[in-house]
Structure 1
Protein backbone atom coordinates (compact mmCIF):
# COMPACT_ATOMS: atom_id res chain seq x y z
CA UNK A 1 0.00 0.00 0.00
CA UNK A 2 1.23 3.48 -0.88
CA UNK A 3 1.49 6.26 1.71
CA UNK A 4 0.60 9.80 0.61
CA UNK A 5 0.89 12.73 2.99
CA UNK A 6 -2.05 15.14 3.13
CA UNK A 7 -0.53 18.58 3.59
CA UNK A 8 0.90 21.64 1.88
CA UNK A 9 3.71 21.96 4.45
CA UNK A 10 7.04 21.49 2.67
CA UNK A 11 8.93 20.59 5.85
CA UNK A 12 6.50 17.78 6.68
CA UNK A 13 6.67 16.49 3.11
CA UNK A 14 10.48 16.51 3.30
CA UNK A 15 10.40 14.70 6.66
CA UNK A 16 8.16 11.95 5.27
CA UNK A 17 10.42 11.68 2.22
CA UNK A 18 13.53 11.36 4.38
CA UNK A 19 11.84 8.62 6.44
CA UNK A 20 11.60 6.63 3.22
CA UNK A 21 7.83 6.11 3.41
CA UNK A 22 6.56 8.86 1.11
CA UNK A 23 4.89 7.74 -2.11
CA UNK A 24 3.04 10.95 -2.96
CA UNK A 25 1.21 14.04 -1.74
CA UNK A 26 -2.40 15.22 -1.66
CA UNK A 27 -3.28 18.81 -0.97
CA UNK A 28 -6.11 21.27 -1.50
CA UNK A 29 -6.91 25.00 -1.23
CA UNK A 30 -7.70 24.71 2.50
CA UNK A 31 -4.30 23.17 3.22
CA UNK A 32 -2.64 25.83 1.07
CA UNK A 33 -4.39 28.57 3.04
CA UNK A 34 -3.28 26.94 6.29
CA UNK A 35 0.32 27.48 5.16
CA UNK A 36 -0.40 31.12 4.29
CA UNK A 37 -0.28 30.52 0.54
CA UNK A 38 -2.72 32.61 -1.46
CA UNK A 39 -2.97 33.97 -4.97
CA UNK A 40 -3.00 31.76 -8.06
CA UNK A 41 0.64 32.22 -9.00
CA UNK A 42 1.84 31.46 -5.47
CA UNK A 43 -0.34 28.35 -5.33
CA UNK A 44 0.97 27.09 -8.69
CA UNK A 45 4.56 27.74 -7.62
CA UNK A 46 3.95 25.85 -4.38
CA UNK A 47 2.69 22.82 -6.30
CA UNK A 48 5.95 22.86 -8.24
CA UNK A 49 7.93 23.02 -4.98
CA UNK A 50 6.04 19.97 -3.70
CA UNK A 51 6.80 18.11 -6.93
CA UNK A 52 10.50 18.82 -6.44
CA UNK A 53 10.50 16.93 -3.11
CA UNK A 54 8.45 13.81 -3.70
CA UNK A 55 9.14 11.12 -6.27
CA UNK A 56 5.44 10.24 -6.49
CA UNK A 57 2.16 11.74 -7.58
CA UNK A 58 0.91 15.10 -6.33
CA UNK A 59 -2.85 15.65 -6.30
CA UNK A 60 -3.71 19.27 -7.11
CA UNK A 61 -7.35 20.25 -6.65
CA UNK A 62 -9.50 22.34 -8.95
CA UNK A 63 -11.83 24.83 -7.30
CA UNK A 64 -14.19 25.09 -10.27
CA UNK A 65 -17.51 23.25 -10.43
CA UNK A 66 -18.60 23.78 -14.06
CA UNK A 67 -17.33 21.54 -16.86
CA UNK A 68 -15.53 24.16 -18.96
CA UNK A 69 -13.88 25.76 -15.93
CA UNK A 70 -12.79 22.38 -14.51
CA UNK A 71 -11.19 21.55 -17.87
CA UNK A 72 -9.40 24.90 -18.09
CA UNK A 73 -8.14 24.80 -14.51
CA UNK A 74 -7.22 21.11 -14.70
CA UNK A 75 -5.19 21.53 -17.87
CA UNK A 76 -3.29 24.41 -16.26
CA UNK A 77 -2.50 22.27 -13.19
CA UNK A 78 -1.48 19.27 -15.29
CA UNK A 79 0.92 21.43 -17.31
CA UNK A 80 2.89 22.34 -14.17
CA UNK A 81 4.65 18.99 -13.81
CA UNK A 82 4.39 15.38 -14.94
CA UNK A 83 3.73 14.33 -11.31
CA UNK A 84 0.52 16.36 -11.05
CA UNK A 85 -2.76 14.46 -10.74
CA UNK A 86 -5.83 16.69 -11.16
CA UNK A 87 -8.21 16.35 -8.22
CA UNK A 88 -11.82 16.69 -9.39
CA UNK A 89 -14.99 16.72 -7.24
CA UNK A 90 -17.61 13.96 -7.42
CA UNK A 91 -20.26 15.93 -9.29
CA UNK A 92 -21.83 15.45 -12.72
CA UNK A 93 -19.56 17.97 -14.45
CA UNK A 94 -16.64 16.48 -12.55
CA UNK A 95 -17.34 13.02 -13.96
CA UNK A 96 -17.63 14.49 -17.46
CA UNK A 97 -14.30 16.26 -16.94
CA UNK A 98 -12.64 13.06 -15.71
CA UNK A 99 -13.71 11.34 -18.93
CA UNK A 100 -12.23 14.22 -20.93
CA UNK A 101 -8.98 14.23 -18.97
CA UNK A 102 -8.69 10.46 -19.35
CA UNK A 103 -9.00 10.78 -23.13
CA UNK A 104 -6.17 13.32 -23.09
CA UNK A 105 -3.85 11.25 -20.90
CA UNK A 106 -4.26 13.57 -17.89
CA UNK A 107 -4.43 11.62 -14.63
CA UNK A 108 -7.19 12.38 -12.13
CA UNK A 109 -8.23 11.88 -8.52
CA UNK A 110 -11.99 11.90 -7.96
CA UNK A 111 -12.49 13.40 -4.52
CA UNK A 112 -15.34 13.72 -2.01
CA UNK A 113 -16.54 10.16 -2.60
CA UNK A 114 -18.90 8.77 0.03
CA UNK A 115 -20.63 5.83 -1.67
CA UNK A 116 -19.76 2.78 -3.75
CA UNK A 117 -22.06 4.07 -6.50
CA UNK A 118 -20.02 7.26 -6.75
CA UNK A 119 -16.82 5.19 -6.85
CA UNK A 120 -18.28 3.08 -9.68
CA UNK A 121 -19.06 6.20 -11.74
CA UNK A 122 -15.53 7.54 -11.19
CA UNK A 123 -13.97 4.27 -12.34
CA UNK A 124 -16.19 4.09 -15.44
CA UNK A 125 -15.15 7.65 -16.32
CA UNK A 126 -11.49 6.60 -16.12
CA UNK A 127 -10.30 8.18 -12.87
CA UNK A 128 -6.76 7.26 -11.90
CA UNK A 129 -7.65 7.47 -8.20
CA UNK A 130 -10.87 7.59 -6.25
CA UNK A 131 -10.85 9.17 -2.78
CA UNK A 132 -13.43 7.81 -0.31
CA UNK A 133 -13.44 9.92 2.86
CA UNK A 134 -13.50 7.30 5.60
CA UNK A 135 -13.13 9.61 8.61
CA UNK A 136 -16.01 11.86 7.57
CA UNK A 137 -18.25 8.82 7.19
CA UNK A 138 -17.28 7.68 10.68
CA UNK A 139 -18.26 11.15 11.93
CA UNK A 140 -21.87 10.57 10.91
CA UNK A 141 -21.99 6.98 12.21
CA UNK A 142 -21.42 5.29 8.86
CA UNK A 143 -18.70 2.65 8.51
CA UNK A 144 -15.89 4.13 6.43
CA UNK A 145 -14.10 0.77 6.29
CA UNK A 146 -17.18 -0.93 4.85
CA UNK A 147 -17.06 1.56 1.98
CA UNK A 148 -13.43 0.63 1.28
CA UNK A 149 -14.41 -3.05 1.29
CA UNK A 150 -17.35 -2.47 -1.05
CA UNK A 151 -15.31 -0.46 -3.55
CA UNK A 152 -12.55 -3.08 -3.53
CA UNK A 153 -15.09 -5.81 -4.30
CA UNK A 154 -16.68 -3.85 -7.15
CA UNK A 155 -13.36 -2.89 -8.74
CA UNK A 156 -12.06 -6.45 -8.51
CA UNK A 157 -15.30 -7.83 -9.97
CA UNK A 158 -14.88 -5.83 -13.16
CA UNK A 159 -11.15 -5.27 -13.39
CA UNK A 160 -11.25 -1.50 -12.97
CA UNK A 161 -7.74 -0.05 -12.76
CA UNK A 162 -8.78 2.99 -10.68
CA UNK A 163 -6.80 3.00 -7.44
CA UNK A 164 -8.58 3.33 -4.09
CA UNK A 165 -7.02 6.28 -2.27
CA UNK A 166 -8.45 6.28 1.25
CA UNK A 167 -8.75 9.87 2.47
CA UNK A 168 -9.80 11.56 5.71
CA UNK A 169 -7.59 9.00 7.46
CA UNK A 170 -7.28 10.05 11.09
CA UNK A 171 -5.92 7.15 13.14
CA UNK A 172 -3.27 4.43 12.85
CA UNK A 173 -6.05 1.83 12.87
CA UNK A 174 -7.61 3.53 9.85
CA UNK A 175 -4.31 2.88 8.05
CA UNK A 176 -4.02 -0.73 9.20
CA UNK A 177 -7.64 -1.53 8.37
CA UNK A 178 -7.34 0.07 4.92
CA UNK A 179 -4.28 -2.12 4.32
CA UNK A 180 -6.22 -5.22 5.38
CA UNK A 181 -9.08 -4.39 3.03
CA UNK A 182 -6.88 -3.77 0.02
CA UNK A 183 -6.88 0.01 -0.38
CA UNK A 184 -4.16 0.94 -2.86
CA UNK A 185 -3.22 4.18 -1.12
CA UNK A 186 -3.91 6.07 2.08
CA UNK A 187 -3.40 9.77 2.52
CA UNK A 188 -3.01 11.17 6.02
CA UNK A 189 -1.29 13.89 8.01
CA UNK A 190 2.31 13.14 8.98
CA UNK A 191 1.31 12.79 12.64
CA UNK A 192 -1.04 9.90 11.80
CA UNK A 193 1.58 8.14 9.68
CA UNK A 194 4.29 8.44 12.35
CA UNK A 195 1.85 7.20 15.01
CA UNK A 196 2.36 3.75 13.45
CA UNK A 197 5.78 3.81 15.11
CA UNK A 198 4.32 3.81 18.60
CA UNK A 199 3.73 0.80 20.83
CA UNK A 200 4.16 0.68 24.63
CA UNK A 201 6.06 -2.61 24.47
CA UNK A 202 8.54 -1.12 22.00
CA UNK A 203 9.15 1.82 24.34
CA UNK A 204 9.50 -0.33 27.46
CA UNK A 205 11.65 -2.89 25.64
CA UNK A 206 14.04 -0.22 24.41
CA UNK A 207 14.29 1.27 27.90
CA UNK A 208 15.17 -2.16 29.28
CA UNK A 209 17.78 -2.81 26.59
CA UNK A 210 19.45 0.53 27.30
CA UNK A 211 19.39 -0.06 31.07
CA UNK A 212 20.92 -3.52 30.63
CA UNK A 213 23.61 -2.09 28.36
CA UNK A 214 24.57 0.53 30.95
CA UNK A 215 24.71 -2.13 33.64
CA UNK A 216 26.84 -4.48 31.54
CA UNK A 217 29.20 -1.65 30.63
CA UNK A 218 29.51 -0.59 34.24
CA UNK A 219 28.15 2.84 33.54
Structure 2
Protein backbone atom coordinates (compact mmCIF):
# COMPACT_ATOMS: atom_id res chain seq x y z
CA UNK A 1 0.00 0.00 0.00
CA UNK A 2 1.19 3.50 -0.88
CA UNK A 3 0.17 6.92 0.42
CA UNK A 4 -0.92 9.43 -2.22
CA UNK A 5 0.08 12.76 -0.70
CA UNK A 6 2.85 15.29 -0.38
CA UNK A 7 1.87 16.44 3.09
CA UNK A 8 4.72 15.72 5.50
CA UNK A 9 2.49 15.49 8.57
CA UNK A 10 0.20 12.97 6.89
CA UNK A 11 3.20 10.97 5.72
CA UNK A 12 4.74 10.84 9.19
CA UNK A 13 1.45 9.67 10.72
CA UNK A 14 0.84 7.04 8.05
CA UNK A 15 4.36 5.66 8.18
CA UNK A 16 3.77 4.64 11.78
CA UNK A 17 1.95 1.74 10.15
CA UNK A 18 4.57 -0.71 8.81
CA UNK A 19 2.63 -1.87 5.75
CA UNK A 20 3.03 1.37 3.79
CA UNK A 21 5.59 0.74 1.04
CA UNK A 22 6.06 4.34 0.03
CA UNK A 23 4.55 7.59 -1.22
CA UNK A 24 3.21 8.69 -4.60
CA UNK A 25 3.01 12.30 -5.70
CA UNK A 26 2.03 14.31 -8.76
CA UNK A 27 2.12 18.03 -9.63
CA UNK A 28 -1.46 18.55 -8.39
CA UNK A 29 -0.66 17.02 -5.01
CA UNK A 30 2.57 18.97 -4.65
CA UNK A 31 0.93 22.26 -5.59
CA UNK A 32 -1.04 22.04 -2.32
CA UNK A 33 2.25 22.15 -0.40
CA UNK A 34 3.38 25.28 -2.29
CA UNK A 35 7.09 24.44 -2.13
CA UNK A 36 9.74 23.79 -4.80
CA UNK A 37 9.25 20.20 -5.96
CA UNK A 38 12.77 18.83 -5.65
CA UNK A 39 13.38 20.46 -2.27
CA UNK A 40 10.11 19.14 -0.87
CA UNK A 41 10.61 15.62 -2.23
CA UNK A 42 14.05 15.47 -0.62
CA UNK A 43 12.40 15.85 2.80
CA UNK A 44 9.94 12.95 2.47
CA UNK A 45 11.12 10.08 4.72
CA UNK A 46 9.61 7.05 2.94
CA UNK A 47 11.12 3.88 1.50
CA UNK A 48 10.09 4.87 -2.03
CA UNK A 49 8.82 8.24 -3.25
CA UNK A 50 7.37 8.38 -6.75
CA UNK A 51 7.75 11.73 -8.51
CA UNK A 52 5.89 12.50 -11.73
CA UNK A 53 7.76 13.73 -14.77
CA UNK A 54 5.89 16.58 -16.47
CA UNK A 55 5.91 17.80 -20.05
CA UNK A 56 3.93 17.80 -23.27
CA UNK A 57 6.50 16.17 -25.53
CA UNK A 58 8.89 13.26 -25.24
CA UNK A 59 11.79 15.69 -24.97
CA UNK A 60 10.17 17.73 -22.20
CA UNK A 61 9.27 14.64 -20.17
CA UNK A 62 12.78 13.23 -20.60
CA UNK A 63 14.34 16.51 -19.44
CA UNK A 64 12.14 16.42 -16.33
CA UNK A 65 13.17 12.80 -15.69
CA UNK A 66 16.78 14.00 -15.55
CA UNK A 67 15.81 16.79 -13.13
CA UNK A 68 14.06 14.26 -10.88
CA UNK A 69 17.12 12.03 -10.93
CA UNK A 70 19.13 14.95 -9.55
CA UNK A 71 17.10 14.94 -6.31
CA UNK A 72 19.10 13.88 -3.27
CA UNK A 73 16.50 11.98 -1.23
CA UNK A 74 16.31 11.49 2.50
CA UNK A 75 18.50 8.76 3.92
CA UNK A 76 17.09 5.32 3.11
CA UNK A 77 14.72 6.69 0.47
CA UNK A 78 14.63 5.68 -3.19
CA UNK A 79 13.14 8.00 -5.80
CA UNK A 80 10.84 6.33 -8.32
CA UNK A 81 9.67 7.84 -11.60
CA UNK A 82 6.01 8.40 -12.42
CA UNK A 83 5.49 8.76 -16.15
CA UNK A 84 2.14 9.26 -17.94
CA UNK A 85 1.17 6.34 -20.17
CA UNK A 86 0.40 8.22 -23.38
CA UNK A 87 2.45 8.16 -26.58
CA UNK A 88 5.16 10.57 -25.47
CA UNK A 89 5.28 9.05 -22.00
CA UNK A 90 5.52 5.49 -23.32
CA UNK A 91 8.54 6.50 -25.38
CA UNK A 92 10.16 7.96 -22.27
CA UNK A 93 9.40 4.82 -20.24
CA UNK A 94 11.22 2.75 -22.86
CA UNK A 95 14.10 5.24 -22.94
CA UNK A 96 14.46 5.24 -19.16
CA UNK A 97 14.46 1.44 -19.08
CA UNK A 98 17.14 1.32 -21.79
CA UNK A 99 19.39 3.95 -20.22
CA UNK A 100 18.72 3.44 -16.51
CA UNK A 101 17.74 -0.24 -16.10
CA UNK A 102 17.57 -0.04 -12.29
CA UNK A 103 15.06 2.81 -12.14
CA UNK A 104 11.64 2.07 -10.62
CA UNK A 105 8.98 3.22 -13.08
CA UNK A 106 5.29 3.77 -12.38
CA UNK A 107 3.17 4.34 -15.49
CA UNK A 108 0.31 6.64 -14.53
CA UNK A 109 -2.98 8.03 -15.88
CA UNK A 110 -4.11 4.62 -17.16
CA UNK A 111 -7.72 4.34 -18.31
CA UNK A 112 -7.72 1.08 -20.28
CA UNK A 113 -6.18 -2.39 -20.19
CA UNK A 114 -4.47 -1.89 -23.55
CA UNK A 115 -2.84 1.31 -22.32
CA UNK A 116 -1.48 -0.56 -19.29
CA UNK A 117 -0.30 -3.45 -21.47
CA UNK A 118 1.71 -1.14 -23.73
CA UNK A 119 3.25 0.56 -20.68
CA UNK A 120 4.25 -2.83 -19.28
CA UNK A 121 5.81 -3.87 -22.59
CA UNK A 122 7.79 -0.62 -22.55
CA UNK A 123 9.36 -1.39 -19.19
CA UNK A 124 7.09 -0.05 -16.43
CA UNK A 125 7.33 -1.80 -13.06
CA UNK A 126 3.97 -0.49 -11.82
CA UNK A 127 0.77 0.51 -13.62
CA UNK A 128 -1.68 3.00 -12.08
CA UNK A 129 -5.24 2.67 -13.39
CA UNK A 130 -7.44 5.57 -12.25
CA UNK A 131 -10.39 3.82 -10.63
CA UNK A 132 -12.82 6.60 -9.78
CA UNK A 133 -11.98 8.62 -12.87
CA UNK A 134 -12.92 5.60 -14.97
CA UNK A 135 -16.12 5.03 -13.05
CA UNK A 136 -17.38 8.60 -13.42
CA UNK A 137 -16.56 8.42 -17.14
CA UNK A 138 -18.78 5.37 -17.57
CA UNK A 139 -15.93 2.86 -17.78
CA UNK A 140 -15.86 -0.41 -15.85
CA UNK A 141 -12.81 0.09 -13.64
CA UNK A 142 -12.98 -3.34 -12.00
CA UNK A 143 -13.23 -5.09 -15.38
CA UNK A 144 -10.31 -3.04 -16.70
CA UNK A 145 -8.07 -4.14 -13.83
CA UNK A 146 -9.22 -7.75 -14.11
CA UNK A 147 -8.51 -7.84 -17.84
CA UNK A 148 -5.14 -6.12 -17.45
CA UNK A 149 -4.02 -8.56 -14.74
CA UNK A 150 -5.10 -11.52 -16.88
CA UNK A 151 -3.21 -10.28 -19.95
CA UNK A 152 -0.06 -9.43 -17.99
CA UNK A 153 0.04 -12.94 -16.52
CA UNK A 154 -0.74 -14.54 -19.88
CA UNK A 155 2.00 -12.61 -21.67
CA UNK A 156 4.81 -13.32 -19.21
CA UNK A 157 4.58 -9.91 -17.55
CA UNK A 158 3.45 -11.23 -14.18
CA UNK A 159 6.17 -9.25 -12.35
CA UNK A 160 4.55 -5.97 -13.39
CA UNK A 161 2.37 -4.71 -10.53
CA UNK A 162 -0.98 -2.97 -10.82
CA UNK A 163 -1.28 -0.06 -8.38
CA UNK A 164 -4.87 1.09 -8.16
CA UNK A 165 -5.19 4.87 -7.88
CA UNK A 166 -7.76 7.69 -7.93
CA UNK A 167 -10.25 6.49 -5.33
CA UNK A 168 -13.30 8.32 -4.04
CA UNK A 169 -14.23 5.90 -1.25
CA UNK A 170 -12.86 2.88 0.57
CA UNK A 171 -15.21 0.47 -1.19
CA UNK A 172 -13.53 1.26 -4.51
CA UNK A 173 -10.19 0.37 -2.94
CA UNK A 174 -11.39 -3.11 -2.03
CA UNK A 175 -13.01 -3.58 -5.44
CA UNK A 176 -9.70 -2.75 -7.12
CA UNK A 177 -7.83 -5.27 -4.98
CA UNK A 178 -10.50 -7.93 -5.51
CA UNK A 179 -10.22 -7.36 -9.28
CA UNK A 180 -6.48 -8.09 -9.32
CA UNK A 181 -4.65 -4.93 -8.28
CA UNK A 182 -1.45 -5.85 -6.44
CA UNK A 183 -1.50 -2.70 -4.35
CA UNK A 184 -3.14 0.71 -4.13
CA UNK A 185 -2.15 4.30 -3.49
CA UNK A 186 -4.62 6.20 -1.32
CA UNK A 187 -5.08 9.53 0.40
CA UNK A 188 -4.59 9.78 4.14
CA UNK A 189 -8.29 10.58 4.61
CA UNK A 190 -9.31 7.38 2.82
CA UNK A 191 -6.84 5.42 4.93
CA UNK A 192 -8.57 6.70 8.06
CA UNK A 193 -11.96 5.82 6.56
CA UNK A 194 -10.82 2.23 6.04
CA UNK A 195 -10.28 1.84 9.79
CA UNK A 196 -12.71 4.20 11.50
CA UNK A 197 -16.09 2.84 10.45
CA UNK A 198 -19.00 4.54 12.30
CA UNK A 199 -20.61 1.23 13.30
CA UNK A 200 -17.29 -0.08 14.61
CA UNK A 201 -16.66 3.12 16.60
CA UNK A 202 -20.17 2.91 18.03
CA UNK A 203 -19.62 -0.68 19.16
CA UNK A 204 -16.23 0.13 20.67
CA UNK A 205 -17.67 3.08 22.57
CA UNK A 206 -20.35 0.79 24.00
CA UNK A 207 -17.76 -1.78 25.06
CA UNK A 208 -15.78 0.93 26.84
CA UNK A 209 -18.92 2.14 28.63
CA UNK A 210 -19.62 -1.39 29.83
CA UNK A 211 -16.01 -1.87 30.87
CA UNK A 212 -16.23 1.26 33.00
CA UNK A 213 -19.47 -0.03 34.57
CA UNK A 214 -18.00 -3.35 35.67
CA UNK A 215 -17.65 -3.81 39.45
CA UNK A 216 -14.28 -2.69 40.73
Work out whether the TM-score is over 0.5.
yes
- Aligned partner of 2:90 in structure 1 is 95
Q: List gaps (5 residues or longer) in structure 2.
A: none
User: Which one of the candidate residues 114, 118, 121 is aligned to 2:118?
Assistant: 121
Length-normalised TM-score, structure 2: 0.90
Q: Spell out structure 1 runs of 4+ moving beyond 6 A.
A: none
- Aligned partner of 1:61 in structure 2 is 52
Equivalent residues in 2 for 1:153-192 (5 A)?
153-160=150-157, 161-192=159-190
1:195 deviates by 0.8
- Aligned partner of 1:5 in structure 2 is 3
1:107 deviates by 2.1
Secondary structure in 2 aligned to 1:127? coil
Partners of 1:77 and 1:34 in 2: CA distance: 19
List per-residue Cα deviations over 1:129-162 (Å, max 9, x = no partner).
1111111011112221111111111111112122
Count, aligned residues:
209
Q: List gaps (5 residues or longer) in structure 1.
A: none
- Give the aligned CA root-mean-square deviation in angstroms: 1.6
Partners of 1:92 and 1:171 in 2: CA distance: 30
Equivalent residues in 2 for 1:75-154 (5 A)?
75-80=66-71, 81=73, 83-103=78-98, 104-105=100-101, 106-154=103-151
Which range moves more in the overlay, 87-96 or 201-210?
A: 201-210
Q: Are the equivalent residues in 1 in contact too, given 2:131–2:176 (CA < 8 A)?
A: no
Length-normalised TM-score, structure 1: 0.89
Relative to total residues, which structure has the larger helix share, 1 or 2?
1
